[in-house]
Amino acid sequence: MPRTHITTVINGDETEFLTEDSTSLLNALRDEVGLTGAKEGCGTGDCGACSILVDDRVNCACLMFAPEADGTVIVTVEGLADSGELHPLQQCFLEGAALQCGICTPGFLMAAKALLDKNPDPTETEIRYALAGNLCRCTGYDKIIRAVQEAAREMRGQ
């Protein structure tokens, strides 16, 4: 079967890859591009482990067909740190012990980034609802919510 040629910008770099049309963007990123930071927890949009930013919006990479990525700008967890310096969310997740096993972490970081980009000063309830599409089975969410609150404070310069 002939494969489709896709051109995107991923984490700041123009990136090309070949894919079958039925392949999910998640599998293309992981298998073809070699970026395994986004995880598959379900493959059906239910867990958020595959969350990435597509044209500045948070998406489940498992629900996108790889060809849909053509011409888009994608950010994955690998692109969150800025030339070696961790993003405040990453730093706050570390310092606040907001991960146990860490499989959900890439997805949470991307969803939290999308939230803070839109709403720099969210309430606890807003954070909880904005992250409801990301499942974490280890932490009970407590430390994740606190880490996002802390990162928001830092990003507001408080």
Partner 1 sequence: MAITEENPGYKWVGTRPVRPDGVEKVTGKARFGADLILPGMLHGKVVRSPHAHARIVSIDTSAAESMEGVKAVITGADFPDLAANGAHPSEIDVANNTIARDKVLYEGHVVAAVAAITREQAEAAAKAVTVTYEVLPHVLTVDEAMADDAPLLHDAMITKGVDPAPEEPSNIASKILHERGDLDQGFGEADSVVEREFTTKPVHQGYIEPHAAVADANTDGRAHIWCSSQGHFQMRAYTATVLGVSPGTLKVTAAEIGGGFGGKTVIYLEPLAVRLSQRAGRPVKLVMDRDEVFRATGPTSGTRIKVKMGVSKDGKITAAEVWMAYEAGAYAGSPVGAAGMTAIACYDIPNFVVEGYDVVCNKPRVAAYRAPGAPMAAFAVESVLDELARNIEMDPIDIRLANAAVEGTQASYGPKFPRIGFVETLEAIKEHPNYTADLGPNQGRGVAAGFWFNAGMMSSATVHINENGTATVVTGSPDIGGSRQSMALMAAEELGIPYESIKPVVADTETVGFNDVTGGSRVTLATGAAVVDACRLIVEDLRGRAAKTWDVEVDQVEWVDGQAQHVDGAQPPLSLNDLAAKSGRTGGPISANASLNSRGVGAGFSTQLCDVEVDPETGVTKVVRYLTAQDAGRAISPDYVEGQMQGGVVQGIGWALNEEYIHDTEGVMENPSFLDYRIPVASDLPMIDCAIVEVPNPAHPYGVRGVGEVGIVPPMAAVGNAIHDAVDVRMTELPMSPIKVLEALNENDG
Partner 2 sequence: MKYVAPSSVEEATSLLSSSPSAQVFAGATDVVPQLRSGRTAPEVLVDLKKIKELVEVNSDGDKWTVGAATPTAYLTEDESFSHEFPGLSEAAGLIGSDQIQNRSSLGGNLCNASPAADSVPAMVVNGVRAVVAGPNGTRVLDVSEVVTGPGQTTLDDDEFIVEFEIDKMPNRSGDAYLRMTPRTEMDIAVVGAGARVTLADDGSIEQAVLALGAVAPTVVRIPDAEQALLGSTADEETLNAVAAAASAACNPIDDKRGTVEYRKQVAGVLAKRAVVIAIERAEQRNGSN
- For the record, the structure tokens of 16 come out as 């090309």
- Binds 104: which of partner 2, ligand FAD, ligand FES, none (CB < 5-8 Å by kind): ligand FES
CA distance 111 to 143: 16
Q: Which of 5, 16, 18, 46 binds ligand FAD (CB under 6 A)?
A: 46
Judge whether 76 and 85 are in contact, CB under 8 Å. no
Alpha-carbon distance of 45 to 21, in angstroms, equals 19
- Judged by CB under 8 A, does residue 57 bind partner 2? yes
- In the bound state with partner 2, the residue whose beta carbon lies nearer, of 55 and 95, is 55
Q: Does position 38 bind partner 2 by CB under 8 A?
A: no
Q: At what angle do helices 105-118 and 142-155 cross, to 10 degrees?
A: 40
- Give the footprint of ligand FES on this chain (CB under 6 A): 40-43, 45-50, 60, 62, 99-104, 136-139
Q: Where are the beta strands (DSSP E) in 55-158?
A: 57-60, 73-75
CB of 12 or CB of 129, closer to partner 1: 129
71 binds ligand FAD (CB under 6 A): no
